[in-house]
Amino acid sequence: MRLMDPTPPYIWAKPGWPVLTFRQEALTGPLSRARFAQGTVLGLAHALGLEHHAEILQDIWVAEAMGTAGIEGEKLDLEAVRSSVLRKMGFGKPGTSPRHVDGLVDVMDDATRNFDSKLTHARLCHWQAALFAGGRSGLARIEVGKYRTHAEPMQIVSGRPGKVKVHYTAPPSVRVRTEMTRFLAWFRDSAPGGKISIDGLVRAAIAHLWFEIIHPFEDGNGRIGRALCDMALAQDANAPSRIVSLSRQLHENRSQYYEQLNAAERGGLDVTDWAVWFADQFEEACKKSAAIIRAAVDKGHFWRAAPEMNERQKKVVQKLLDAGPGGFEGGMSAEKYVNLTGASKATATRDLSDLSEKGVLEIAGQGRGTRYWIAGKVGAHKGDA
């Protein structure tokens, strides 16, 4: 949405822009903690030979795709995302996911798989076009595959008509090409081995903020900005890694994420506070990725030790395992079992009771409120992980 904004100049209008600075002493502790968490998850991945565990990599990638879309308020179909990710990993059948889902997965894949390829105007425009293959954002037709050109201010707003709050106003469209040229030059020069020496996590934080400040596209800036984070982090690791689920962490902390971005966009050229917050989020993302890896390992152990089940039971148990701790809202019920399997109510009740007797599921509640959860460590539904 675009409205007139009477607020004072934003960061891009201040003298010295776009030279962003930070205080290294304030970042020492957060970066040290973030690197320790990163080392833990990378060590775990190496010990497991994670490159050979497609299911674990799939779980992390799916969580990332769901997270980056969710930040924008878009709830993607979990099975569609999983199907698209599987195809990108070399499994599954082509052409069975919505175009916008495949487009997002394509962008995420290119950002990390081809992390060492040059970032250019054209590449970014191709990313944005992939997100809006039909040329529309919702019902509105938007500029696709190119930077915005409209004369009206590009603004981020909220609220109802008459009570609209302007959160941010980006540089005018006529400045976008020049602003992006400077950004791309910095991104190139600050890459590992480049002219500018900067910690890789701080670089990723600045790259994301700088891109969001420019807001070069009519739509899709958030998803592309987070793909840039992925690319910068892959360059830092010198590997096409998607082990750390940063977008999932940002989605879980969505309100604070927007608050921090907004504060930085309205603040001064010293972006230390943003970089500290980003490092803290990266640390948490590493810890949660480690938990995902351990949960996937637990799932493998679960199936190796699982008792005999019919195909209906296997399908439902897998759904519960895929959802993770607390992910299957309200637990499994006979009604949900019927919907998932097409079985009769009597068969559903019998199958669930059988799984409970075999120790696969544990029961909570009674009567119509009876719910079933995966028993033990793998299915700890009270937040153990």
Element holding 374 (H helix, E strand) = strand 371-374
The CATH 1.10.10.10 domain(s) of the chain lie at 306-374
Average pLDDT for residues 334-356, to the nearest whole number?
96
Do residues 272 and 20 lie in contact, with contact meaning Cβ atoms separated by under 8 Å? no
Kindly indicate the confidence band of residue 381, based on its pLDDT and cuts at 50, 70 and 90: very low
Res. 108: pLDDT tops 90: yes
Sign for the pseudo-dihedral over CA of 72, 75, 79, 80? negative
The CATH 1.10.3290.10 domain(s) of the chain lie at 11-294
151 exposure class (CB count in 10 Å sphere: 0-12, 13-18, 19+): exposed
Quick one: pLDDT at residue 13? Answer: 94
Torsion of CA 204, 210, 213, 219, to 10 degrees: -60
Phi (first) and psi of residue 264, to 5 degrees = -70, -40
Average pLDDT, the chain: 89
Res. 280: pLDDT tops 90: yes
Quick one: pLDDT at residue 25? Answer: 97
Give pLDDT tens digits for 294-318: 777 778 788 889 999 999 999 999 8
pTM: 0.80
DSSP string covering 35-87: HHHHHHHHHHHHHHTGGG-HHHHHHHHHHHHHHHHHHTT----HHHHHHHHHH
Res. 379: pLDDT tops 60: no
Q: Tell me the sheet residues that pair with 168.
A: 156
* The residue to which tokens 């003298």 are assigned: 15
Element holding 169 (H helix, E strand) = strand 165-169
CATH assignment, 11-294: 1.10.3290.10
Quick one: pLDDT at residue 51? Answer: 66
Angle between helix axes 200-214 and 254-266 (nearest 10 degrees) is: 80
Do residues 254 and 178 lie in contact, with contact meaning Cβ atoms separated by under 8 Å? no
Least confident window among 72-86, 106-120, 230-244, 293-307: 293-307
Task: Count the residues in the chain.
Answer: 385
Q: Which residues contact 279 (CB under 8 A, 6 or more apart)?
A: 27, 30, 31, 33, 34, 201, 202, 205
Angle between helix axes 345-357 and 311-323 (nearest 10 degrees) is: 70
At the second CATH level, the architecture of 306-374 is Orthogonal Bundle (1.10)
Give pLDDT tens digits for 121-146: 999 999 999 999 878 776 678 889 99
Q: Distance (Å, rounded) from C-alpha 267 to C-alpha 62? A: 34
Phi (first) and psi of residue 308, to 5 degrees = -65, 135
Least confident window among 19-23, 47-51, 248-252, 340-344: 47-51
Q: Distance (Å, rounded) from C-alpha 181 to C-alpha 121? A: 8
Read off the tokens for 382: 């009270």
Res. 327: pLDDT tops 90: no
Do residues 243 and 116 lie in contact, with contact meaning Cβ atoms separated by under 8 Å? no
